[in-house]
């Protein structure tokens, strides 16, 4: 990593960016628009490091332009920055304070952070479509529950609305399939992932988009990225309750949990699931363990390029 001496923190909002330089007083506000950002980036020294919090889509324009300008870009977990500010004893939370906290955080932790890379266009579209699909599914379910018991003309409109949701989901699935068909290597990798018992079209698409963008060193790294890894909370002889770290993508955790729910009813993983339940684990805990196992299998399939073979999987009797 290139040696840098200028660390810039940026607090991102929909219309405005508030920037701060580490160990320098004052802040600067610029519009969250391409022309204003490009003009500001041209004023920065070569090799500067810039950090922003992950804010959905509002930070993406800045990160893309800064990376193209040759700056080192770090996209930070907002939860990490929040607790870092708490540890510093911050007595207020404003855009200016947040920008200085981000600048200090990246100045102290940049050697341990991973540089942000411009995402693959196709994979970004896939992840966006999967997020939109989940929104449509959740809204459809909520409307079904709230509109139960309607009769007459209202019932007809409810059926028409449900049919419209079904058509929307079908269109999203077709678009995702088309995107993978346009890229032969990714299509082949997705097909390999679908050979895993319990991994369906949506799970395989999300796993392919994640594994293709991030170079994981091991299956445990993928589990940690998903946030399904247990976090210890021990002190002395006291052993605290384990909880999930939930540091990664919520969509990946949700999708793998659904995959585990499907896999636990199959011959391949039924024995594993029952063994976990017999150990005293609750249903949710057992499904989370099974989801972690599916992630490790997905990493092995992706790395080896070989389809999943249920006969080689040893399931408890």
210-236 tens-digit pLDDT? 898 877 888 899 999 898 988 888 788
What is the sign, positive or negative, of the torsion defined by CA atoms of 94, 95, 96, 100? positive
Q: Which domain holds residue 176?
A: 122-182
- 270 and 313 housed in the same domain: yes
Q: Which of 92, 112, 132 is the last residue of a domain?
A: 112
In a domain, 248, yes or no: yes
pLDDT tens, residue by residue, 229-267: 888 887 888 887 888 888 878 888 999 999 999 999 999
The per-residue pLDDT of the chain, averaged, comes to: 89
Number of Cβ within 10 Å of residue 116's Cβ equals: 20
Check whether residue 199 and residue 247 sit in a common domain: yes
- 1 domain residue, yes or no: no
Give me the phi and psi of 244, to 5 degrees please: -70, 145
Q: Which residues are paired to 51 by β-bridges?
A: 9, 74
> Are 246 and 317 in the same domain?
yes
Q: What confidence score (pLDDT) does residue 236 get?
A: 82
Task: Identify the burial level of 285 via C-beta atoms within 10 angstroms of its C-beta, where 0-12 means exposed, 13-18 middle and 19 or more buried.
Answer: middle
Residues 310 and 262 occupy one common structural domain? yes
Does 44 lie in the same domain as 132?
Answer: no
176 within some domain: yes
- Pairwise CA distance, residues 237 & 162, whole Å: 55
* Number of structural domains the chain divides into: 3
From the list 260, 261, 252, 302, the residue with the least C-alpha distance to 126 is 252
- 53 in a domain, yes or no? yes
Pairwise CA distance, residues 39 & 44, whole Å: 10
What was the pLDDT predicted at 314?
65
Cα distance between residue 292 and residue 228, in whole Å: 7
The gap between the terminal CA atoms of the chain, to the nearest Å, is 50
**Domain stops at, among 182, 204, 220:** 182
Q: Are residues 172 and 279 in the same domain?
A: no
Which of 94, 112, 130 is at the close of a domain? 112
Would you say residue 305 lies in a domain? yes
Cα angle: 118, vertex 220, 254; to 5 degrees: 70
**Is there a single domain that holds both residue 95 and residue 127?**
no
195 domain residue, yes or no: yes
Q: How confident is the model at residue 192 (pLDDT cuts 50, 70, 90)?
A: very high
102 located within any domain: yes
Let me know if residue 135 belongs to a domain.
yes
Query: Mind listing the pLDDT tens digit for each residue in 65-98?
Result: 999 888 899 999 888 899 999 999 888 889 999 9
Q: Assess whether 102 and 34 both reside in one domain.
A: yes
> For residues 14 and 62, what is the distance between their CA atoms, to the nearest angstrom?
11
Q: Cβ distance 207 to 199 under 8 Å?
A: yes
Q: What is the pLDDT of residue 10?
A: 94
- In this prediction, residue 316 carries a pLDDT of 63
Asked whether residue 190 falls in the same domain as residue 302, the answer is: yes
The residue among 38, 35, 62 whose CA lies nearest residue 50 is 62
CATH number at residue 55: 3.30.420.40
Alpha carbon distance 312, 48 (integer Å): 50
Residue 317: which pLDDT band, with cuts at 50, 70 and 90? low
Task: Average the pLDDT over 144-154 and give the result.
Answer: 84
Whether residue 34 is found in the same domain as residue 50: yes
- Locate 170 and state its tokens: 């079908």
Got the DSSP string for 37-55?
A: HHHHHTTSPTT-EEEEE--
Tokens of 46: 């070569």
| pLDDT of the residue at 231 | 84
Euclidean distance between CA atoms 313 and 9, whole angstroms: 48
Instruction: For residues 11 and 72, state if they share a domain.
Output: yes
Where b means 16+ CB within 10 Å and e means fewer, 240-255 reads eeeeeeebbbebbbeb
Widest pairwise Cα distance in the chain: 71
Residue with tokens 């996209």: 75
**Whether 211 and 314 share a structural domain:** yes
Q: Give me the phi and psi of 232, to 5 degrees please.
A: -75, 150
């Amino acid at each position: 990593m290139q040696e840098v001496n200028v660390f810039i923190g940026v607090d991102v909002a929909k219309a405005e960016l508030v920037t701060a330089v580490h160990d320098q007083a004052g802040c600067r506000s610029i519009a969250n628009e391409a022309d204003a950002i490009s003009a500001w980036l041209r004023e920065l020294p070569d090799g500067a490091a810039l950090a922003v919090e992950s804010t959905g889509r509002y930070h993406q324009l800045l990160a893309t332009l800064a990376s193209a300008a040759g700056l080192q870009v770090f996209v930070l977990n907002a939860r990490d920055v929040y607790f870092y500010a708490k540890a510093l004893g911050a007595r207020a939370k404003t855009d200016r304070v947040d920008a200085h906290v981000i600048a200090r955080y990246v100045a102290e932790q940049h050697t341990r952070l991973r540089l942000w890379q411009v995402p693959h266009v196709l994979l970004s579209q896939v992840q966006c479509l999967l997020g939109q699909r989940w929104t449509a599914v959740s809204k459809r379910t909520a409307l079904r529950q709230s509109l139960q018991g309607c009769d007459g003309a209202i019932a007809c409109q409810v059926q028409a609305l449900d049919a419209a949701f079904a058509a929307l989901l079908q269109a999203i699935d077709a678009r995702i399939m088309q995107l993978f068909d346009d890229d032969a290597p990714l299509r082949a990798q997705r097909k390999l992932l679908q050979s895993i018992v319990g991994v369906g079209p949506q799970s395989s698409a999300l796993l392919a988009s994640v594994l293709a963008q991030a170079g994981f060193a091991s299956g445990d790294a993928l589990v940690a990225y998903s946030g399904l890894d247990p976090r210890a909370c021990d002190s002395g002889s006291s052993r605290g309750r384990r909880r999930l770290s939930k540091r990664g993508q919520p969509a990946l955790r949700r999708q793998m949990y659904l995959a585990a729910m499907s896999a636990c009813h199959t011959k391949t993983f039924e024995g594993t699931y029952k063994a976990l339940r017999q150990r005293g684990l609750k249903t949710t805990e057992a499904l989370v363990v099974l989801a972690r196992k599916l992630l490790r299998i997905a990493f092995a399939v992706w790395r080896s390029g070989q389809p999943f073979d249920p006969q080689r999987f040893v399931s408890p009797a």
